[in-house]
Amino acid sequence: MPDPQGARDARPRGNEPSTLASWLSRRTGVLRRHALGPECVDEVCAAVDQAERAVDLPSDRVIAGPCPQCATPCYARAGAASTRCPDCEATVSVGEGRRRMLLAAGEHLVTAADAARALQVLGHRVTPASVRGHARRGRLRPRGTGSAGRPLYCLGDVVDVYLTRPCTGDRTVSRRP
């Protein structure tokens, strides 16, 4: 692209965004008249959008459970004890909402790995090996076999085993039928 300001200023000096923006701002007239100007503008706008998305990341949000009033799925900031329902503005307790979700999933058959992930949501330090250990000790019994030949456990049974044990950040509760 021809540079009306001369060869000494044909390329930007440095790679800092402010330097590049200043250099580019002095060439808007050239871009408007150049055949590839619209394409260049699209590329610059896309780069700016990408940069804004990289620095304006949304805060970490975690599932808080369904709203107790309207059943809308609710999310909270990581570490928050409660949140508000986006539909009805009711207060949703993160710990209680997650506990209700797990208990509602009681009859689903899951692998040891899936069961461990589900209980980690409540703050229990559970590994697939510990779930399998409970099965070996007779506290859990497989209810089927998955496609890879792995045992499947009823999530409600796994929840019963772990929710009767105290956990940092969780109160001891028992599963209600």
Per-residue pLDDT reduced to its tens digit, 15-60: 887 888 888 888 888 888 888 888 888 888 888 878 777 776 666 7
Burial class of residue 148 (count of CB atoms within 10 Å of its CB; 0-12, 13-18, 19+): exposed
User: What is the reported pLDDT for 176?
Assistant: 45
pLDDT at 177 over 50: no
Do residues 61 and 75 make contact, with C-beta atoms less than 8 angstroms apart? yes
Specify the CATH number for 105-177; select among 3.40.50, 1.20.58, 1.10.1660, 1.25.40: 1.10.1660
Top pLDDT among 167 and 30 is at 30
Top pLDDT among 65 and 102 is at 65
Do residues 35 and 64 make contact, with C-beta atoms less than 8 angstroms apart? no
